[in-house]
Structure 1
């Protein structure tokens, strides 16, 4: 008799069966097989919130096929996705197939590769009922909130709208931000920018205030700006202080679910849903020439920054061979996950570290290639050396007034030869300054007052809402 392995997605069936061989039958549950009824609440709130599950009507034939296959098999292994939802699906399958919950019939695959599959198959465990309870609590909240609030929205707003555990909180964040914007009263302020010449090189300096000011001066109106400009008439611009330093820019850590969604939105304008759909495809398996059908990334629902030592060693070897030993840190870089992070999975990383994006491009759709390249580059860059920048901060006095200028020049690019993280904020145009010394006399090319108004908080974008 063969062993039956049940996964969630039909895409994974082919990938996994290739590695397990003829002794195993692999079938897909196509997601959930049981759920709460649509015709009623389905929760007995007076009986410890007992959930009343029913077999999903569109899964009748599939459930019958799974039962028939289970009866013919010596062992049934539940290999649904390694998260709360997957654990709950396995629990429902165990109920339907009358499996003993005390037996070790649950297996998980952090990556759909030969080593990942073999490791999972060799390490069966019992179902994690705490994870199952967590998923059921979420499902109950979804139903209680949505079942009560959605009909209210249909009456008061329009049909087809829904309210839920996550939607409603996100909506409150958006509404609160909109109210902040509506209440916001802009305040006027002015800046003064000077374009100065040192030798043959020009650079920009910003007005700070009087030489004795501990904080930047606030110029609140045109009259105050004009007063400063008048006091600067015919002034000599002299370098009063130069501070030089070396700045280390560290690479960002490898992706977790939220940061992957944020970065894909910034760089490709992908929605969070689209990002996760494409990541699921890369995780479940793609037919790559020379590798066959194999998963290209580790499991994409994770908040852990942990990296396996095998992947770390492979990345270090790759960095050395492509860029040279100077791009490998003297001390290995380890990233700390946030408090409360679940450490069951690794960070999101390529499963075949040596498979460069260009080498996989022909096997991938345009969007799959974009996301794989993003994940691959972020992971490799995270284990490269810092970017080293020579910094220079210059104080310039003009009569009793002070201007400041800062700049940097890259001494060693480090990880930036491969990857630069996107940002939700305006870009800093800081560049290299001419080399200056205390006492240098500068030539004023132009001085410009600029009117500004304080801005209200920005409306949420998808990446900033995810981050919130």
Structure 2
């Protein structure tokens, strides 16, 4: 038996069907090991990474890294060979190495195999090209992890101290965030300039010409601000044709999809986010459960070219479909850092027109298929006409330009009208079907009008334009684009407004802190250079330790510079030990400030308008020692306790963040205790009551009104003469008979503290559904929760 280990469980059935009964296909379910969560996990100065098996998800032991490794190990004794078939990228290479190491495989025990698509031909071809793990790629991936870890763990605390709140610096995410912040500030600084142009119309509106303002502007004054001048230009009627150029042009189809282009196209055309796109692409790559193969090739790629076999297949399919095929196979120039061996994203079977289990998957598949076929079609051909016309108005000569383009052969546009990854609106500077007028001939305009124009601010980054910018600047790689964008969104550093990114105040604060402190990794050039260095590691042209140690040394110098810079002080310092204070905002809880200094300094402060203020102190009513508020271990809410060591042991309940005053039992003078009421199902009702702490000696119970005990009033029941009790329910006060256990279900409304018959249709006194007979009082059948 042979064992093949893949990353995703969704691939198991497809590969099992392809490989046959002599194989056992198993899944690692992604990463099995990771760096520790609560410590750096890197040894200095050697920069060795310390991995640990991943814990189970949500307390499920069977999902842990150890459990997943153990399941694979159970079958090793029966295996003649183990094939590590994790994904064909650096991250997949690293996962293969972790599996080899965790399983204790020797070099003779395993083979590394990769395939760009899950289909019989691709799998068979991959098994003919087995190899060993590419440690250079593993080191490159480890270099990325080490650098990300160093920045996150060493810079984030300094940045948080400067800001006074928890902020997280990311080696690449911070650069993407800075792009968004810088763009937003350019938009804010932008000032609209109103200016003028002119347009004249010919041949009943069939075409028009625009005023060429270049003779009337300069470098210092680039726009026409003179409206009367524009009016004179628009007033031109008689024109002389100065030039008329007719040229033929060709337009090549857009390249196939790499990861960045796929993310852009899905965002622009399908309105899908990066995470949703990659999830759908992953499902298409793996294929539906039980399928014999996936429906697209590997989707994490920086290549825009196909293999020779794929090119031949696409061209043959297009030709059979009657589409105009290019004279020879099309290839595009690759970026210098594109990973060798990968190809662009394409369907595994072009004959399959529809694929995917969800609408998102189906839409994405159609986009990929259309793009792959279009890439090998003929050029679209055009006849372009540019005419320059000169007119005179009030003695001034004005030149107008008309541009026209007519498609003479659709070519690739037979299949798709536009480049789906282009965010343009499809408009250009064309002015209609412009005729090729004889030079020197005259032409009369139908009409003319002033164009009131204004300059436009830079556009905010959309997901598509941000990915395009990251790729153009060499920031990140195919496997990281989605994670970069998701991280800055999840940490609330940016928000989406009309599908465009806007930095939040926290995001701007983070960028300002990094720039002010002078950290190099937030600069585009530094990050681009670091990505190039990681590529050199993968190519075996640089050493992991040299690259990481140099980056660490620079980071250390920058951190020292921060400590020496007197202008970079913590936003707020502890009044007791002078260490930085940190703001902690918890969902549903009061915002507080805490000291980040030594463990012996346990200073906490309240928040007031985003600044720390001294905590409000409440003295113990017995010994005057300041009370301490605590979270109940059992039951909901908080309580207050006297921390005095003199044996005071005063306990007070909490109401809206303040200790409730001591209340004595009206019968025995012992302290009363407030408790939350529960309904018959044991669920909290949101109401409270009071009970005497005298135990069995005194069973006094009282109602609660605004945190104070109120005596339970009684009156005789008009049906059974037992006592009726006045209770506080969900809808206010009501009266209920204490003999309900013996069958008396009498309930009455409350009016002025006295029982009155319930009015028809009135909700007065209506008890909470399921609350029990008496509105939650301890003596009326509800369950009470006594605090300890």
Secondary structure of the 2:172 match is helix
List aligned pairs for 1:319-468, cutoff 5 A: 319-324=318-323, 327-355=324-352, 357=353, 360-361=354-355, 364-399=357-392, 400-419=397-416, 420-422=418-420, 423-429=422-428, 430=430, 432-438=432-438, 439-468=440-469
CA separation of 1:91 and 1:427: change in aligned 2, threshold 3 A: same
Deviation at 1:231, TM superposition (A): 6.1
Deviation at 1:186, TM superposition (A): 3.4
Report the equivalent of 1:230.
232
Report the equivalent of 1:32.
31
Match of 1:105 among 95, 111, 115: 111
Q: Distance in 2 between matches of 1:264 and 1:231?
A: 44
Deviation at 1:129, TM superposition (A): 0.3
Q: Distance in 1 between matches of 2:263 and 2:350?
A: 21
List aligned pairs for 1:68-107, cutoff 5 A: 68-101=74-107, 105-107=111-113
CA contact (8 A) 1:244 1:390 kept: yes
Deviation at 1:72, TM superposition (A): 2.7
CA contact (8 A) 2:234 2:450 kept: no
Deviation at 1:409, TM superposition (A): 0.9
TM-score by length of structure 2 reads 0.54
| Bigger relative CO (Cα 8 Å, ≥ 6 apart) | 1
Report the equivalent of 1:175.
181
Q: Distance in 2 between matches of 1:218 and 1:195?
A: 25
Q: Distance in 2 between matches of 1:312 and 1:48?
A: 47
CA separation of 1:68 and 1:103: change in aligned 2, threshold 3 A: closer
Secondary structure of the 1:282 match is helix
Q: Distance in 2 between matches of 1:74 and 1:164?
A: 44
CA separation of 1:210 and 1:281: change in aligned 2, threshold 3 A: closer
Report the equivalent of 2:311.
312
List aligned pairs for 1:217-296, cutoff 5 A: 218-221=222-225, 224-230=226-232, 233=235, 235-286=237-288, 292-296=291-295
Secondary structure of the 1:294 match is coil
Q: Distance in 1 between matches of 2:53 and 2:350?
A: 42
Unaligned runs of 5+ in 1: none
CA separation of 1:342 and 1:440: change in aligned 2, threshold 3 A: same
Match of 1:52 among 31, 42, 50: 50
CA contact (8 A) 1:111 1:299 kept: yes
CA contact (8 A) 1:256 1:302 kept: yes
Deviation at 1:354, TM superposition (A): 2.5
CA contact (8 A) 1:332 1:383 kept: yes
CA contact (8 A) 2:199 2:234 kept: no
Alignment: residue pair count:
451
CA contact (8 A) 1:306 1:343 kept: no
CA separation of 1:89 and 1:211: change in aligned 2, threshold 3 A: closer
Report the equivalent of 2:70.
64
Larger Rg: 2
Deviation at 1:257, TM superposition (A): 0.7
CA separation of 1:186 and 1:431: change in aligned 2, threshold 3 A: closer
Secondary structure of the 1:273 match is helix
CA contact (8 A) 2:235 2:449 kept: no
Secondary structure of the 1:57 match is coil
Secondary structure of the 2:184 match is helix
Displaced runs of 4 or more, over 6 A: 210-215
Matched, 1:9 2:8: yes
Q: Distance in 2 between matches of 1:276 and 1:203?
A: 45
Structure 1 vs Structure 2 CA RMSD: 2.5
Deviation at 1:411, TM superposition (A): 0.4
CA contact (8 A) 1:245 1:391 kept: yes
Deviation at 1:104, TM superposition (A): 5.5
Secondary structure of the 1:310 match is helix
Q: Distance in 2 between matches of 1:336 and 1:387?
A: 20
CA separation of 1:102 and 1:332: change in aligned 2, threshold 3 A: same
Report the equivalent of 1:120.
126
Deviation at 1:241, TM superposition (A): 2.0
Q: Deviations over 1:436-466 (max 9, x none)?
A: 4224543333322223232232211111111
CA contact (8 A) 2:84 2:110 kept: no
Unaligned runs of 5+ in 2: 57-63, 470-788
CA separation of 1:211 and 1:65: change in aligned 2, threshold 3 A: closer
Q: Distance in 2 between matches of 1:431 and 1:380?
A: 32
Deviation at 1:390, TM superposition (A): 0.9
CA contact (8 A) 1:104 1:125 kept: no
Between 242-251 and 171-180, report the one with greater CA deviation.
171-180
CA separation of 1:211 and 1:395: change in aligned 2, threshold 3 A: farther
Between 99-108 and 413-422, report the one with greater CA deviation.
99-108
CA separation of 1:40 and 1:210: change in aligned 2, threshold 3 A: closer
Secondary structure of the 2:249 match is strand
Deviation at 1:424, TM superposition (A): 2.2
Q: Distance in 2 between matches of 1:442 and 1:369?
A: 53
Deviation at 1:37, TM superposition (A): 1.1
Secondary structure of the 1:127 match is coil
Between 93-102 and 413-422, report the one with greater CA deviation.
93-102
Deviation at 1:271, TM superposition (A): 1.2
Q: Deviations over 1:153-177 (max 9, x none)?
A: 6664756x64322211111111222
Secondary structure of the 1:380 match is helix
Report the equivalent of 1:297.
296
Between 63-72 and 77-86, report the one with greater CA deviation.
63-72
Q: Deviations over 1:126-185 (max 9, x none)?
A: 1000110011111112222223344566664756x6432221111111122223223333
Q: Distance in 2 between matches of 1:339 and 1:218?
A: 38
